[in-house]
Structure 1
Amino acid sequence: MEESQTPVLDVLLHPVRWRIVQRVLGRELTTTDLKRDLPDVPTTTLYRHVAALIDAGYLTVVRERKVRGTTERTLTLDQTKVGRIDEREARAMTPEQHRQAFLMLLTRLAADFDRVIDTGDLYPRLHQLGYSQLALYLDDHDMTTFRQAFADLVAPYLAESPGKDRIVMSVFSLPDS
């Protein structure tokens, strides 16, 4: 497989690794936290996928501490690295691989929404919920400018901070014929 395909296709498009990335997105978690958040994933499988994400540079170990004879790692994720497939990687993907990536994201969004509904957390945090669709009219230059302005807008809010709630925002842009 070509090097340009390796980051997305071999690493992020695996369902377990995608779930790990979604859990770590925007915060620091220990491997123990991940085991709690992903109880259906066997521990050895979880550790193997965490190692693959670390080796690929998506997860970073920010702290290690000894806990009962073992080392517990605290992990973080570079959101700029997983926030968007770059054009070179996107061009290397087949239409089926794009479909797989998009469906994986939609599946996780639906599961996260179900989790909020099922835990009874929806109405107290209703002001933090939003879903909508807009039609924008942009040429290539406008799209580049828009993406940069959006990145600049959200940059101050990407780091976990005491007293602030974690809100996961998903943004899609799809060309319309």
Structure 2
Amino acid sequence: MTSKADLILHPVRMQIIQRLAKGPATVQELMDALTDVPQATLYRHLKTLTDHGILHIVEEKKIRGTLERTYSLKEHDAAHINAEEASKWDKDEHMQMFMTYMAGLINKTERYLDGPTDMHQDVFGYSQVDLHLTPEQWQAFTRDLQHIFGKYTAQKPTDETKSATMAQLFIPEKNHE
């Protein structure tokens, strides 16, 4: 049995999920968004994600004798790994998943930097801050983040909007006593 993490943290499947997190898409729309993924590979990964309940087909229609399918994430958190699932992993599994996650971000950054850039106008950047919060403050902080993310991720792309990826990562420091 393939774990949920293995399913969603595969580099190609992660790209598919990230695109579908923005809304349903046809295979053609996915191919337009994932230009470095061959069509046969895309179909294979769509089947894998659908067979394992991460994606589902929300529409099928015939176009010139061909069946066009529109895919969507099955549930809002279908592609989310919760703390209970992650707590079952050992250090090597966490490192493998983290490296896959980082490789996806590196790939996206490289694609951005390969083209013309305008760092004054674009929202490109990266930073790091240290937070020192009580457990109650952490709960409030994550609720606030979820509220902010929900407010802005619900927006659909338009000609007036600028799209960017924001990655979230928390690395707790070990308490030394």
- 1:40/1:165 CA distance change after superposition, 3 Å: closer
- Give the equivalent residue in structure 1 for 2:59: 63
1:171 shift after superposition: 0.9
Aligned position for 2:147: 152
Q: Hey, what does 2:72 align to over in structure 1? A: 76
Distance 1:142 1:165, change over 3 A: same
Give 1:169's aligned residue. Answer: 166
- Percent identity, please: 32
Matched, 1:98 2:94: yes
How big is the alpha-carbon RMSD for the aligned residues of Structure 1 and Structure 2? 2.4
Distance 1:149 1:79, change over 3 A: same
TM-score by length of 1: 0.81
- Say which structure is richer in helix: 1
Q: Which runs of 5+ in 1 are unaligned?
A: none
Which of 1 and 2 has higher RCO (CA within 8 Å, sep 6+)? 1
**Do the aligned partners of residues 71 and 122 (structure 1) sit closer, same or farther apart at CA in structure 2, a change above 3 Å counting?**
farther
| Count of residue pairs the alignment pairs up | 171
User: What's the secondary structure of 2:87's corresponding residue?
Assistant: helix
**Which piece of structure 1 moves more, 32-41 or 128-137?**
32-41
The 5 A counterparts of 1:23-38 are 23-38=19-34
1:138-159 Cα distance to aligned partner (Å, 9 max, x none): 2323222211111011102223
How far is 1:162 from its partner?
A: 4.7
Q: Confirm whether residue 138 of structure 1 aligns to residue 148 of structure 2.
A: no
Determine helix, strand or coil for the equivalent of 1:150. helix
SS at 1:92 equivalent = coil
Q: In the TM superposition, what is the alpha-carbon distance from 1:107 to its structure 2 partner?
A: 1.1
Q: How does 1:4-19 map to 2 (within 5 A)?
A: 6-9=3-6, 11-19=7-15
Q: Secondary structure at the match of 1:66?
A: strand
Sort the Cα spacing of 1:58 and 1:158 in 2 relative to 1 into closer, same or farther, 3 A: farther
Q: Using structure 2 for the length normalisation, give the TM-score.
A: 0.81
Deviations 1:42-87 (A, max 9, x none): 43332121122223333243333322222222233355443x5211
